[in-house]
Amino acid sequence: MSKLGLITKGFLKENPTFVLVLGMCPTLATTTSAMNGLEMGLATMFVLILSNIVISLISPVVPDKVHIPVYIVVIATFVTLLQLIMQAYTPDAYETLGLFIPLIVVNCIVLGRAEAFASKNSVGDSALDGIGIGLGFTVTLTIIGIVREILGSGSVFGWKFIPGDGILAFVMAPGAFLVLGYLMVLFNKLAKR
Amino acid sequence: MAAKSNLKNMVLSLTLVCLVCSGLLGVVYSLTAEPIRKAEEAKVNASIARVLPEGTGAPELESTVVDGITYSYYTVPGAGYAVISTVGGFGGPLSLMVGIGADGKVVNTVVLSHSETPGLGAKCTTDEPFIEQFQGWDPAVKRLAVLKDGGDVDAITASTITSRAYAKAIENAVKVYSKLMENE
Amino acid sequence: MEILLIIVSAIFVNNIVLAQFLGVCPFMGVSNKLSTATGMSGAVCFVITLATVVTYLINQYFLVPLGLTFLQTIAFILVIAALVQMVEIVLKKISPSLYQALGIFLPLITTNCAVLGVAINVVTKEFTFGDAAHMLNLGEAAVYALATSLGYGLAMILFAGLREQLSRNNVPEAFKGLPIAFITVGIMAMAFLGFSGIV
């Protein structure tokens, strides 16, 4: 796959949410607004790129039987790094995303890419893979966030353009599942063309 | 592709990875400890400034026990006390900071954290008339309970439980204040 | 009385999947057959309860006293990974058929955000079960973990039943598979919303 292909595959061909169906939990929980979705996507991309690079570097020397725990420790390290940095410098985002920052450790996207790609490819390609899948995830989360925010609060990125309350169900639990389901249908229809 | 999976290699690689990672995190932790502390302090000070705008000096954190529950509060020189009061709301704990002036009246309140329903109970952070009714509230004259319960608090429409919890949190803060006044 | 509040709250009011969004991936993946759903629920229940107790103890007697709370994420996930390995070994011996049926989903319990999520929640959040907000003690944490995983099982078994029904019906092509499943869960979540405010 070309270098450009690596970066753009995350949007359609290997879209982590609609095609690979990975990372569902943060997708549902953090897309209550466009901003939250964007922040979560970027946070995940940060961990994804760094862990892909490191795992690509060390996989030749890690014995096969312990590779899963080793990869997990590497990923957990970057997640903790992210936690500390966010707590210190972006405390508001840290509070909004809350529990889902440490949960990036068990986001199947990160471990999945480590296993499927980073452990078998060069450092450069692994970094690009991280960027590609990360961008796809970020864009998807932001789109879902935009839809839920418009329907649920009548605003987008905090700019309110529909006065009054929205359909609150969309910023709550049911809305997350419903929007994801319907967007999946839309994506499938568009991708099939 | 990978190194041989004998016991020595496995233990070695796992231990090495854990040591390096813990070491790296230890370094980053000590580097970020100060900014984290500052960010949290800024947040607390911002809340105190909202509930007791007349404060002049640095707030001092202390705690006391009322009815078996430990409360944290800040002594704000020149203004009064900022008490942190947490009660069970509709969807989870509702945590308020209540600023009580030297005259025993509530100066202002601010929500520190909540799990209330968006668009309903969550309005306790944005509904201006609801919040403003507590500014200057004199607990000696008005009762801290919702109108439904015979009190003087005008609840948020369709969010009686959240409003009840809010009022109760303030009532608890007033109790703490009374205890502090007793001890002086 | 307080124990009852913890249980009702964890199973219905704050259902781990339908309200807290934890454990969704395996929830969608294992629920197309009732039998695997039941088996998976049991395994998850065991892991969540045991993992919460162990991580709670490690946090209280090791991480906090030594000021190492920043190692929480790493320590917790390693404990969970080890526990899942143990469960795999034990299950292989006790019930090889269940072990086969669960297949890949057993090691995947390690990456089930519900397990790590509950473990972290218990040591970081304050709870108000009928009285003032407080951090859970070991007993309350264990009950909470057990009840939470029962809620997970309940949701999964209900959902598996619904999905088996769905597979016998005429679903439009674009909706087949995951989309209709998500829409169904959304409606389930709406139903469970009705429990809020009970405790």
Sign for the pseudo-dihedral over CA of A52, A58, A61, A65: negative
Identify the sign of the CA torsion C39, C42, C48, C51. negative
CB contact under 8 A, C113 and A102: no
Average pLDDT over residues A162-186: 85
How many domains is chain A partitioned into structurally?
A: 1
Mean pLDDT score, B160-174: 91
With cut-offs at 50, 70 and 90, classify the pLDDT of residue A189. Answer: confident
Highest mean pLDDT among A18-32, A44-58, B46-60, C172-186: A44-58
Residue A125 is inside which H or E element, if any? helix A123-153
Q: Which stretches in chain C have pLDDT values below 70?
A: 129-133, 199
Interface residue A178 vs chain C (CB under 8 A): yes
Contact A126, A117 (CB under 8 A): yes
Question: Which token pair is B81?
Answer: 């006390």
Per DSSP, the three-state class of B64 is strand
CB contact, 8 Å: A62 with chain B? yes
Contacting residues of A for B43, CB less than 8 Å apart? 91
Q: Which of C149, C151, C120, C152 is nearest to C136 (CA)?
A: C120
Q: Which pLDDT tens digit goes with each residue over B86-143?
A: 888 877 788 999 999 988 899 999 998 888 877 778 888 888 889 999 999 998 888 8
- For residue B3, the model assigns a pLDDT of 66
Q: Please tell me the predicted confidence (pLDDT) of residue C131.
A: 64
Contact between residue B91 and residue C196 where contact means Cβ atoms under 8 Å apart? yes
pLDDT score, position B28? 92
pLDDT above 90 for A43: yes
CB contact under 8 A, C121 and A174: no
The domain segmentation of chain C, as residue ranges, is 2-193
Question: If DSSP codes are grouped into helix, strand and coil, which group holds residue B93?
Answer: strand
Using the beta-carbon criterion (under 8 Å), do C128 and B87 form an inter-chain contact?
yes
What confidence score (pLDDT) does residue C148 get? 93
Nearest residue on chain C to A192, judged by CA atoms? Answer: C174
Its domain, for residue A37, covers 3-192
Q: Do the chains contact at B13 and A73, CB–CB below 8 Å?
A: no
List of chain B residues whose C-beta atoms are within 8 Å of the C-beta of residue C63: none
The pair of three-digit structure tokens given for residue A16, joined into one six-digit string? 């982590």
Quickly count: other Cβ atoms within 10 Å of residue C141's Cβ.
25
**pLDDT, tens digit, for every residue of A102-154?**
999 988 889 888 888 888 888 998 999 999 999 999 999 999 999 999 988 88
Instruction: Check residue A156 and give its pLDDT.
Output: 86
CA distance B77 to B82: 11
**Mean pLDDT of the B57-61 span:** 84
What lies within 8 Å, CB to CB, of B6 at 6+ separation is A63
Q: What number of other Cβ atoms are within 10 A of residue C87's Cβ?
A: 19
> Which residue among A65, A73, A91 sits closest to B17, beta carbon to beta carbon?
A73
CB nearest A106 (choices: C20, C111, C193): C111
In the complex, which subunits touch A with 3 or more CB pairs below 8 angstroms?
B, C
Q: Could you tell me if B88 and C128 are in contact, meaning their C-beta atoms sit under 8 angstroms apart?
A: yes
Please tell me if residue A190 touches chain C, with a CB cutoff of 8 Å: no
Cβ–Cβ below 8 Å for B91 and C74: no
Residue A1, pLDDT score: 64
* Per-residue pLDDT at B83: 92
Taking the CA of residue A174 and the nearest CA in chain B, the distance in Å comes to 13
Q: In chain A, what are the helix, strand and coil shares in percent, each to the nearest 5?
A: 75, 0, 20
Residues of B in contact with C14 (CB under 8 A): 92
pLDDT the model gives residue C48: 93
Q: How far is B118 from chain A (nearest CA, A)?
A: 7
Q: Neighbouring chains of C at 3+ CB pairs within 8 Å?
A: A, B
Q: Are A82 and A46 in contact (CB under 8 A)?
A: yes
How many CB atoms lie under 10 A from the CB of residue A192? 8
B85 and C CB contact within 8 Å: no
Q: Please indicate whether, in this complex, the C-beta atoms of B29 and C130 are within 8 angstroms of each other.
A: no
- From residue A171, alpha-carbon distances to B72, C52, C176 in Å are 33, 29, 25
* Of the ranges A75-84, A158-167, B142-151, the best mean pLDDT one: A75-84
pLDDT of res. C196: 78
Q: What percent of chain B has pLDDT over 70?
A: 98
Residue of B nearest to C14 (CA): B91
- Distance in Å, alpha carbon of C98 to nearest chain A alpha carbon: 23
Q: Do residue A25 and residue C24 have CB atoms under 8 angstroms apart?
A: yes
Mean pLDDT across the stretch B134-163? Answer: 88
CB distance C151 to C83 below 8 Å: no
Q: Are A14 and A133 in contact (CB under 8 A)?
A: yes
Which residues of chain C are within 8 Å of residue A116 when distances are taken between CB atoms? none
Residue A76 touches chain B, beta carbons under 8 Å: yes
Task: Supply B174's token pair.
Answer: 């007033």
Inter-chain residue contact B2 with A77, CB threshold 8 Å: no
Chains that touch B (3 or more CB pairs under 8 A): A, C
Nearest CA in chain C to A103: C113
Q: Are A144 and A183 in contact (CB under 8 A)?
A: yes
Closest by Cβ to C126, choosing from B25, B86, B89: B86
Q: Hey, is B95 helix, strand or coil?
A: strand
Radius of gyration (C-alpha) of chain C in whole angstroms:
18
Contacts of C72 in chain A (CB under 8 A): 80, 102
Does the distance separating the beta carbons of B86 and C132 come in below 8 Å?
yes
Token pair of B17, please? 């990875």
| Three-class DSSP category at A175 | helix
Instruction: Decide: A143 and A31 in contact? Cβ < 8 Å.
Output: no
Stretch B19-42: mean pLDDT = 91
User: Per-residue confidence at A78, pLDDT binned at 50, 70, 90?
Assistant: very high
Strand (E) or helix (H) holding A4 = helix A3-8
Q: How far apart are the first and last CA of chain A?
A: 22
pLDDT digits (tens, 9 = 90+) for C27-64: 887 777 788 888 888 888 989 999 999 999 999 998 88
CA distance C162 to chain A (A): 16
Mean pLDDT of B139-152: 88
Residues of B with CB under 8 A from a CB of A: 1-6, 9-10, 13-14, 17-18, 21, 24-25, 28-29, 32, 35-36, 39-40, 43, 117-120
Tokens of A62: 């890690």
Q: What CA dihedral angle connects C16, C109, C76 and B114, to 10 degrees?
A: -10
Q: Between C14, C70, C128, which is nearest B88 by CB? A: C128
For B156, phi then psi, to 5°, come to -70, 140
Element (H, E) at A108: helix A108-113
pLDDT value at A85 more than 80: yes
